[in-house]
Structures are given as structure tokens and as C-alpha cells.
Amino acid sequence: MNPHQDEPIYLPTAFHSRQQQHNLLHAWGGWNGYLKPEAYTDIELEYFAIRSTTAVFDLSPMNKYRVTGPDAEAFLNRVLTRDVAKIKNGRVGYCIWCDDAGQVMDDGTLFHLGDNDYRLCSYTRAYEWLYWSSLGFDVAIEDETGTVAALAVQGPTSCTVLTAMGVTGLESLKPFGILEVSFQGQTLTVSRTGFTGDLGYELWIDTSAGEALWDALFAAGEPYLIKAIGTEALEIARIEAGFLQAGVDFVPAETAVRRGCTRSPFELGLGWLVDFDKPRFNGRKALLAERDAGSRYRYVMLDVDGNKPAHHSFILQHGKVVGTVTSAAWCPTAKTNLAFAQLELPADASLTGLVAEIYYERELRWNKVLAPCVAIDRAPFDPPRRRQTPAPAL
């Protein structure tokens, strides 16, 4: 008999006791060693909570690293591709970091919390790499993943709900801004950030106050039909908003096993996050060479004909396979069949004549569809309320 057979494989987050009450489907998965809800009741209802009312997603398993010390800015400028000095105090910046070959290790958000005080949030674990890279810099790096609880509060009534909970100052908080307020003796950090492409906020607090924060939030949000959501609903929303996901749309360079499976920032459509005005940063030499010589792959968003999502489909051009789909979804609000694809085409090649080779199963029978695709320049969902300041109070 195994004495450890009843021990949980995944750790509970600070909100787990409350999630159990909402998760009628008992649909659980794992994220970074923590237990996460895949869905609570109905994926479609959870998705429409994001777009119609207020949706709450547990962000606690995200890796969170506090970087402090006299060389904090210089160190982060060395490991990130964008100019960290341009992310002012009280602001959040979207960032990527690369290995020496210029291949993306991960993307994430950098919070400038104070003088020489930053928090880097990432999907994949990066503590060891950050620690090794800090050699020669006067910095301290602390893994806050287990001590900082986080909730994403997203949707058109999210500002109204947080205001009803007692959060003041939201009316002047701009996108990617940070606000600190007091909550039951703890510092509650509110950032106007999210992964849904909608109006929304993320709440960051010590894990000891996690249950109290959940209770206060849901009490304030009850009149506004607040709803807990899982990763399945969030997946639809992030695709509709045009956001990439590590491990889905690209293989993090540090975890790749096979050569050629990783991607550079240019190949992911993230070249705007590479600042060559900085003298040194990881992968700079390789990225300069790629900029001059051209990239092997191109990232494109495709509007796919029909309503069959092009999951894991090949992309054809004039009958020849030129790429694959990494993410796909029928987007209910945008009414678009959207797909993200990696194409092995020259940068100056035409994006006309693209076709998705889609396979889907109905009643034990597999069907094949050749669906025409049109490359689009921007995500189909981008509402004005996402940037409106003050945020709309509904």
C-alpha cells in the first residue's frame, strides 16, 4: 500500500475552498503544480460572463518573481527584449525574453511597483534562469508564486463591481496602470490588465487574505451576475482577442526537445517588443541577423470560412502545405471563425489562396472540410471599453 496515495498531486490555491463550491462539474486540471478549474458549470455561460457581466479567473498559479535592488532595471533590461526604462513607476509592460539564439523563452507582464522594485509574471517557470542571469548584478530575486494570490476580474461590469466592493481610484486608472488600496489590513494591488481583450482588472494580494477577497468580490458582484470561470472559457476569449499562449502557440525555448520547433519574436508577430536601441540583451546578435536576413516563419491570424474551428489543421496554398494552425475557435461575440497559424513563407509572399484542411468528428464519422481563409491584420474583438478612461460604470 502506498502511504502517499491520498495526497493531492496538485496544490490548492488560496481560493480553492471557494472554487469547490462553484465547480459543479468537478472539472479540474493542473497549472504550474496547482489545481485549477477547467470549467465550473457551462463553458458558454462562463464565456458570456466575460463579454456581458463580470467573470473571475484564478491567476494564482502564474509564476511571480519579485526583482529588487539597485541594479533591478539594468538586470531586467539585460534579460528582456524591450526597454524596461520606458515602463514607468506604477505601470505594467508586456514583455518577452529570449535565449542566446533569439528564440522566445516566454512572454509575460512586468509590473513596475516602485523604485528598483518589479514583479515579473510568466507562464513557465523562470526562477533558475533569472538567478543564473543575475550574476554580476546587485539584485534580489524572490519567487512569490506561493505567497501572492491573484484574481482576474474581467468584463463590462468589472469596474462597477470593484467600485461596489470599495476599491477607490478606478476612475482614473488607465490601461496597464497600477493602483494600491487597503483591504482588511492588507495591500491590495489592482492592475488594469487581463487576458480577455475586454475591460478588466487583476487583483494581487497576500494569500492569507485570499478567501476574504473572494467573498467580498462575489458579495459585491452578485447584483451584477458575477461568475467564476475556468480555463476553457478563457481560452475562447483570449483567441478572440488575438493573444498568444505559451506552450500552445509556441514552444518555450528552454523546454524544446527538437531543433527547429521554437520561434523568434519576429516569427510570432512580436517584433515590436524587440528594442535594438538597447546595447545588450539576450539574443540581440541572433535577432539582428534574422532581421537582416529574414525569418523562416510568419505568424498570421486567419478568418476561416464556415463555423468549424480549424483545430490542429494544415494550411494549404495552391494545394501545398505551407503551415499549421496553433490555436482556433469560433468566436461568439466577434462572430468569426478565427485561427492562429505559423506559415513557412517568405515575408514578401502573397497571403492569398490560403485554405484550412479541417477534420472533425460527428457521430463516430470523421469529415474533411477545405475551408478558404483570409489573413486579417488585427483581432476581431477589440471594444472601446477596453481602453476607455474613466472605465464605463454599468
Show Cβ contacts of residue 306 under 8 Å, excluding neighbours closer than 6 positions.
337, 369, 371
Q: Determine the pLDDT at residue 242.
A: 97
Is a pLDDT exceeding 70 seen at residue 8? no
**Quick check: 44 and 246 in contact, CB under 8 A?**
no
The yes-or-no verdict on residue 9 having pLDDT over 90 is no
Calculate mean pLDDT across residues 310-328.
96
Residue 3 has pLDDT above 80, yes or no: no
Q: What does the alpha-carbon distance between residue 169 and residue 186 come to, in Å, rounded to a whole number? A: 17
Among residues 147, 153, 157, the alpha carbon closest in space to that of 217 is found at 153
202 is in an annotated binding site: yes
pLDDT (tens digit, 9 = 90+) per residue, 172-196? 999 999 999 999 999 999 999 999 9
User: Are 94 and 241 within 8 A, CB to CB?
Assistant: no
- pLDDT for position 393: 79
Question: Average pLDDT, whole number, for the chain?
Answer: 95
Position 1 scores a pLDDT of 45
Strand residues in 104-185 grouped as ranges (E): 104-114, 117-122, 140-143, 148-154, 178-183
Is residue 315 within 8 Å of residue 343, measured between CB atoms?
yes
**Mind listing the pLDDT tens digit for each residue in 354-393?**
999 999 989 999 999 999 999 999 999 999 999 999 998 7
Q: Across residues 325-334, what is the average pLDDT?
A: 97
CATH of domain 63-143: 3.30.70.1400
The CATH class, in words, for 297-381 is mainly beta
Whether the CB-CB separation of 372 and 352 falls below 8 Å is answered with no
Given a cut of 80, whether residue 223 has pLDDT beyond it is yes
Is the backbone of residue 231 left (phi > 0), alpha (psi -120 to 50) or beta?
Answer: alpha
> Which stretch of 98-107, 116-125, 329-338, 342-351 has the lowest confidence by average pLDDT?
342-351
- Choose among 340, 327, 166: nearest CA to 248: 327
Domains of the chain by residue range = 16-62+146-240, 63-143, 297-381
Task: Tell me which fold the domain 16-62+146-240 belongs to.
Answer: Gyrase A; domain 2 (3.30.1360)
Query: Across-strand partners of 94?
Result: 109
Percent share of the chain, pLDDT over 90: 93
Average pLDDT over residues 275-293: 96
List, for residues 101-126, the tens digit of each pLDDT value: 999 999 999 999 999 999 999 999 99
Is the pLDDT at 2 greater than 70, yes or no? no
